Amino acid sequence: MDWPRGMAGRLCYGGDYNPEQWPESVWHEDMALMREAGVTLATVGVFSWALLEPAEGEYDFGWLDRVLDLLHDSGIAAALATPTASPPPWFTLAHPAGLPVDAAGTRLTHGSRDTYCPSSPEYRAAALRIATALGSRYAGHPAVAMWHVHNEYGTTCHCDVTAAAFRDWLRRRHGFLDALNAAWTTSFWSQHYTDWAQIMPPRATQYLHNPALALDFKRFTSDELLACFVSQRDALRAIDPSVPITTNFVLGGWVPVSHWDWAPEVDFVSIDHYPGSSAPLAAEEETAFAADLARGWAGGRPWLLMETAPNLIYEPGRMAVKEPGRMARLALSYVARGSRGSLYFQWRAPAGGAELYHSAMVPHAGADSRVFRESAALGAVHRELGPALFDGAVVASAAILWDDEAWWASQAPAFPSSSLDYLAAVRSVHGALWRAGVTCDVARPGADLSGYRLVLVPSLYLVSDEAAAALRSYAEAGGTVVVWYFSGIADPAPRVRLGGHPGAWRDLLGVRVEEWLPLAPDASVSLSSGGTGRLWSERVRLAGASAVDSYADGVLAGLPAVTRNAVGAGAAYYVSTSLEDPGRFLASVCAAAGVAPVVADLPAGVEAVRRVNPDALVIINHTAADQPVPSAGVVPAGGHLVVPAGPP
């Protein structure tokens, strides 16, 4: 598929454009500035429902006609959004049942955004109507390069309509009520159901919810939201199948839907990504992880960064400013790792609204500003690099397994340690590889792993029998596997796999874990290798494996901490604690598995990604000094190089 339509060979550059917030005189300044900045794609209409359909069934497309024409006349393509993430105020009054209800039974109202019930027939009908109206009017418009359906799907509802839909979904998933009772362990706490009608969403209750119900409700919500997307997608596709359709996946601490399931439903994967720390190299590590994950969802194909902040990093409690040049370096990292460009929220900073201080390419101060000048310079970079980086595959010989459902399942309360953090565990491993210059894919459990020399499994709490078997087969066929603590514990119900942890992979790993010993937040345990473990430790018994590292103090002193098991033609490591610095261990594993850095002897703070078809080596210098990179040259301080280079 040609996506965005008409952009072949040209990287996308631009962002969310909200001309409806400004008088038309500003639109013309926008066009001039966009051209100056090298903008190639503008996202329009994301939250424009109230203006496009000011009364139920009455449309006002005039302003959008003019905007699209203007963009087209300016040589800028449009990502045209359906505005269904925010129903207009009139919808609330006409269709109160279309509003979401929280766990305590409070029906929310408009005044913010995302106030809809995903299961509401009234909401779905209204959303389909406006999407269809937009499709009918604009599918043939030459500016429209793609459809951007909705925005960051992620609203949860607990209303009675949702409850009924949840029961239908459960019937489809479990088939029989007894199967559900078994999967949910409803024999606990007198929760045995004798009628589907007895099942409720996880509404306000006296104490802890059943974790299996909670997980199924998240799966259900993901599927309900996906049905909302598919409804719009199908209508738009029916009108004009030539326009590619996506919706922007949202990343971060908040992942409301299962993107592995969604990815096949979009014409191409796009993500919104906002790093959460401005500390040196922290946003860089986050960016590389998000990009690798997006590429994983895209099945290794190109994807698109649909939103990030041009100049700010939204830390808790503070909007930190990116130092000069950092905007460009982070953009290049996304692109090097497979994004067909860099799109920003937002083009022009609004004078009001709840996000008036979010970052913009044209800030409140206007175009005479460092931010706009950097934005314009970055547009030029995108133009130059388009042919080299528009397409092409990223080269990686290692993969990390990632699963949204495992994350959700591990967020249950009353777990052995409230410090267990799936995202942090995965990021710790990915970050160590990033610092070592090793490129890493992200794969779904159960995926074909045969292309990799090394597969890493950090704290994957829940895994299916099939996915567990796939990992075993991979190792038997010669692959190297590393599994971290709190992996393979539960089946998809989730129910704990009995007989010793990790139930899914005892045989693969040649160990049997008798018990877990979570550490206090400020505690640590020494390892005989000189390393340090945090958060977690385990009483590991060898059952075929040999110890690679051992606990050196505490109640586990002398017992195995890290083990290695020979498996068929491959090997499987087990890491029973959270290594404070996993770098040295991973370096030895990579060496043993034949996984090399992209470039040997890469200086610290320099990032390198290798691409094929077309071949390219992208090197980004995140440091403030010139850095020599073997066989590529000197990368200027804060700058980058893109050099032709085939696979290693």
Near a copy of itself in 543-572, by CB under 8 A: 555
Catalytic member of 53, 122, 152, 224: 152
307 is catalytic: yes
Closer to a copy of itself at the Cβ: 25 or 112? 112
29 is catalytic: no
Catalytic member of 122, 284, 285, 307: 307
**Is 363 within 8 Å of 405 (Cβ atoms)?**
no
Considering only 27, 138, 184, 402, the residue that binds a copy of itself (CB under 8 A) is 184
| Residue 190: burial class (beta carbons within 10 Å; 0-12, 13-18, 19+) | exposed
CB of 289 to a copy of itself, least distance (A): 23
**Is 300 within 8 Å of 255 (Cβ atoms)?**
no
Eight-class DSSP state of 5: T
Residues 6 or more apart in contact with residue 181 via CB below 8 angstroms: 187, 192, 193
Q: Tell me the window of 47-55, 236-244, 262-270, 593-601 that interacts with a copy of itself (CB under 8 A).
A: 47-55
Residues 6 or more apart in contact with residue 268 via CB below 8 angstroms: 1, 3, 244, 246, 298, 301, 302, 303, 304
Question: Please, which of residues 342-381 interact with a copy of itself by CB under 8 A?
Answer: 349-358, 363-366, 368-371
Question: Please, which of residues 290-319 interact with a copy of itself by CB under 8 A?
Answer: 311, 315, 317-319
**Is 42 within 8 Å of 347 (Cβ atoms)?**
yes
Q: Which of 484, 481, 447 is nearest to 464 (CA)?
A: 447
d(CA 168, CA 338): 39
Considering only 193, 392, 427, 532, the residue that binds a copy of itself (CB under 8 A) is 193
Question: Please, which of residues 503-542 interact with a copy of itself by CB under 8 A?
Answer: 503, 512-521, 539
111 scored as a contact of a copy of itself (CB under 8 A) = yes
Total binding residues toward a copy of itself, as defined by CB under 8 A: 118
Question: Please, which of residues 395-434 interact with a copy of itself by CB under 8 A?
Answer: 412-419
110 scored as a contact of a copy of itself (CB under 8 A) = yes
Q: Which of 64, 84, 75 is nearest to 34 (CA)?
A: 75
382 scored as a contact of a copy of itself (CB under 8 A) = no
Beta strands 440-443 and 398-401, pairing class: parallel
Considering only 57, 62, 176, 190, the residue that binds a copy of itself (CB under 8 A) is 190
CB of 239 to a copy of itself, least distance (A): 23
Q: Is the dihedral of CA 165, 170, 172, 177 positive or negative?
A: negative
Question: Please, which of residues 5-44 interact with a copy of itself by CB under 8 A?
Answer: 18, 20-21
Instruction: Give the count of beta carbons closer than 10 Å to the beta carbon of residue 286.
Output: 24
Question: Please, which of residues 238-297 interact with a copy of itself by CB under 8 A?
Answer: none
Considering only 16, 30, 114, 272, the residue that binds a copy of itself (CB under 8 A) is 114
d(CA 24, CA 257): 38
Residue matched to tokens 């006349």: 73
Considering just the CA atoms, what is the radius of gyration of the chain in Å?
Answer: 25
Question: Please, which of residues 423-482 interact with a copy of itself by CB under 8 A?
Answer: none
Closer to a copy of itself at the Cβ: 5 or 129? 129
Catalytic annotation, residues: 152, 307
